[in-house]
Amino acid sequence: MERTKFLLDESQLPRRWYNIRADMPSAPQPVLHPGTGEPVGPDDLAPLFPMELILQEVSEEPEIPIPEEILDIYTLWRPTPLYRARRLEQAAGTRSRIFYKYEGVSPPGSHKPNTAVAQAFYNKKEGRSRLSTETGAGQWGSALAFACKLIGLECKVYMVRISYDQKPFRRSMIQTWGAEIVASPSEDTQCGRAILEEFPETPGSLGIAISEAVEDAAGREDTSYSLGSVLNHVLLHQTIIGQEALAQMEMAGAFPDVVIGCVGGGSNFAGLAFPFLREKIAGREIDVLACEPAACPTLTRGLYAYDFGDTSKLTPLVPMHTLGHDFVPAPIHAGGLRYHGVAPLISQLVNDDLIRAEAYLQGDVFAAAVLFAGSEGIIPAPESAHAIHGALEAARKADEAGEQQTILFNLSGHGHFDMAAYDNYFAGKLEDVALDEEEIERALRAIQGLPVPV
Ligand SMILES: Cc1ncc(COP(=O)(O)O)c(C=O)c1O
């Protein structure tokens, strides 16, 4: 009988995170202070983050040890399984081999607690007692609520309005883990009130929710801000995924030709891909593919520029592919992919041709999700389904070229709280939203006059 799952023992849990900054062929551009235009230093970030995370943000060390306390919590769900998707291969009729790493086995149901636990740990260690954050789909908010509960911190979550309405049970989960939650934009912050006054019907966006969470943390001594993606230290914490996958692919006697992940801010993609990119930078041939929604095509159609990470311009200026900080993506059902920017590390690696990107329509993505559920059994999160569609497309292209490839993708989470989206898909109510060029041009006017990366 052929093997389906490749499992590591707890004793094989990687004990270090991998820092790709040490190996990148071009150094990433610095993050800038919007007032001075100068690179941001550790002291500028100290009101928002604990020093240990700030040092990880700028570290050039190739590997950073994972504290025992974090490893101990990771063992609640890690190492996560790697599957050979034999039934999906059959259903798709491909000659290629498809593997996936499944992060949905964590208590909140996605990869997000890999960094939530680490962030809560360092904040607690440095004496903070409360964290504020934003959440899109609710996966990040529930992961941080879970981590704060286990580590003993208070937590306040600003949840994008559209997801707050579409996903009442993500809300309940966040409350079950003891966090406070409010729909964003909210009346609880100055920027929330200003946006509500101008756009009372807004579905919200991650950019707006980030503004509210940053304002909350900046105004309180006891509170740090916590971000679920984009930043270097967040991507760093996720690299445990790819390191496990490297060992599991070896168990399977295989190495991927293609490594695939969906991209919102970029953390699950980076988590799987960066340890494989280490091999690619060292000379191995691997195609590394980032999958994004056509409704929010940051990497495929955005500009590489300095931009704010949030709508109200409270964050430093970040060098990244962006659609403009006031861009509000259409309310597609992959809420976690509705972000105007992407991680600077990923942007730089795209510029250096080490990563390529594709954008998909949500109808195609849900068709892939249903095919996957019907063959592998797991009902995927709509975000993760972008990676499934990417894998199926890669397999189809290999078949057409008469090749057999080994394809590995990250199944970043399950979709048990996304069934309303599946209902809409079955009822034929999902709209295929592709952005027109005029809207991109309009949104990008918001970054005119900002510094330009060299
Ligand atoms: C299951 C899942 N996958 C992917 C993402 C996208 O985030 P990132 O690009 O940081 O992995 C999210 C975000 O909420 C998510 O919930």
**Residue 319, strand partner residues:** 306
Best of 347, 383, 388, 417 for a ligand 1 pocket test (most atoms within 8 Å of beta carbon): 383
User: What whole-number distance in Å separates Cα of residue 255 and Cα of residue 175?
Assistant: 42
pLDDT above 70 coverage of the chain, percent: 100
Q: Which of 239, 262, 289, 417 to mutate to test the pocket of ligand 1 (most atoms within 8 A of CB)?
A: 262
Cα–Cα dist 305/347, whole Å: 10
- Section 51-71 average pLDDT: 97
What per-residue confidence (pLDDT) applies to 336? 82
Find the DSSP H helices in 180-266: 190-198, 206-218, 232-238, 240-251
Is there an atom of ligand 1 within 6 Å of 136 CB?
yes
Is residue 404 within 8 A of residue 398, CB to CB? The reply is yes
State whether the beta carbon of 229 lies less than 6 angstroms from ligand 1.
yes
pLDDT at 187: 97
- pLDDT tens for 335-389 read 788 889 999 999 999 999 999 999 999 999 999 999 999 999 999 999 999 999 9
Contact 135 CB / ligand 1 (< 6 Å): no
What's the rounded Cα separation, in Å, for the pair 135 and 177? 15
Residue 139 burial (CB count, 10 A)? 34
The gap from C-alpha 110 to its chain's centroid, in whole angstroms, comes to 10
Give the DSSP letter string of 387-422.
HHHHHHHHHHHHHHTT---EEEEEE-BB-TT-HHHH
Q: Residue 303's pLDDT is what?
A: 96
pLDDT band at 115; cut points 50, 70, 90: very high
Contacts of 271 by beta carbon, 8 Å cutoff, 6+ apart: 111, 114, 235, 237, 238, 239, 240, 241, 242, 261, 410
Task: Tell me: pLDDT of 283 over 90.
Answer: yes
| Candidate of 144, 229, 235 to mutate for ligand 1, largest count of ligand atoms within 8 Å of Cβ | 229
3-state SS track over 124-173: HHCCCCEEEEEECCCHHHHHHHHHHHHHCCEEEEEEEHHHHHHCHHHHHH
Of ligand 1's listed atoms, the one at least distance from the Cα of 414 is 1
Q: Residue 204 in 3-state DSSP?
A: coil
Q: Is the CB–ligand 1 distance for residue 446 below 6 Å?
A: no
The pLDDT score that the predictor gives to residue 167 is: 85
* Nearest-CA residue for atom 4 of ligand 1: 383
pLDDT of residue 88: 98
Q: Probe ligand 1: pick from 114, 157, 170, 412, max atoms within 8 Å of CB?
A: 412
Q: What percent of the chain has pLDDT over 90?
A: 90
Mean pLDDT calculated for residue range 200-206: 91
Q: How confident is the model at residue 220 (pLDDT cuts 50, 70, 90)?
A: very high
Would you say the CB of residue 337 lies under 6 angstroms from ligand 1? Answer: yes
Cβ(139) to ligand 1 under 6 A?
A: yes
Mean pLDDT, rounded, of the chain:
96
Does residue 60 sit in helix, strand or coil?
Answer: coil
Q: How far apart are CA 341 and CA 302, in angstroms?
A: 8
Predicted pLDDT of residue 302: 96
Per-residue pLDDT tens over the stretch 246-278 = 999 999 999 999 999 999 999 999 999 999 999
pLDDT exceeds 90 at position 329:
no
Ligand 1 centre distance from Cα of residue 268 (Å): 6
∠421-393-335 over CA atoms, to 5°?
25
* Nearest Cα residue to atom 7 of ligand 1: 264
Q: Which residues pair with 409 in a beta bridge?
A: 100, 260
- Report residue 286's pLDDT band, with 50, 70 and 90 as the boundaries: very high
State yes or no: pLDDT of 434 exceeds 90: no
State the distance from the centre of ligand 1 to the C-alpha of 140, rounded, in angstroms.
8
How many other C-beta atoms lie within 10 A of the C-beta of residue 453? 17
Verify whether ligand 1 is closer than 6 Å to residue 110 (CB atom): yes
Q: How confident is the model at residue 136 (pLDDT cuts 50, 70, 90)?
A: confident
**Sign of the CA dihedral running 337, 135, 206, 44:** negative
**pLDDT (average), residues 175-198:** 97
Q: Which two tokens stand for residue 135?
A: 């959440």
Protein residue closest via CA to atom 6 of ligand 1:
264
Best probe residue, ligand 1, of 112, 298, 372 (max atoms within 8 Å of C-beta): 112
Q: Is the pLDDT of residue 328 over 90?
A: no
Mean pLDDT of 287-312: 95
Res 237: pLDDT: 98
CB atoms within 10 A of CB 95: 12
448, with CB counted inside 10 A (0-12, 13-18, 19+), is: exposed
Q: Is the CB of 157 under 6 A from ligand 1?
A: no
For 315-325, the pLDDT digits (tens) are 999 999 999 99
**Distance, CA of 23 to chain centre:** 21
pLDDT at residue 163, rounded to an integer: 87
Model confidence at 334: pLDDT above 90: no
Distance, CA of 237 to CA of 226 (rounded, Å): 13
Of residues 237, 193, 50, 189, the one with CA closest to residue 125: 50
Which residue did the predictor score with more confidence, 203 or 99? 99
> How does pLDDT run across 140-151, given as a tens digit for each residue?
999 999 999 999
Give me the DSSP letters along 310-367: STTS-SPEEEEEES-TT------S-GGG--S---HHHHHHHHTTS-EEEEE-HHHHHH
The answer to whether the beta carbons of residues 303 and 447 sit under 8 Å apart is yes
Q: Is the CB of 295 under 6 A from ligand 1?
A: no
Which has the minimum average pLDDT: 53-57, 65-69, 418-422? Answer: 418-422
How high is the pLDDT of residue 366? Answer: 98
Residue 201 binned pLDDT confidence (cut-offs 50, 70, 90): very high
Compute the distance between CA of residue 318 and CA of residue 296 in angstroms, rounded to an integer: 18
Whole-number pLDDT of residue 137: 82
Q: What is the pTM of this model?
A: 0.96
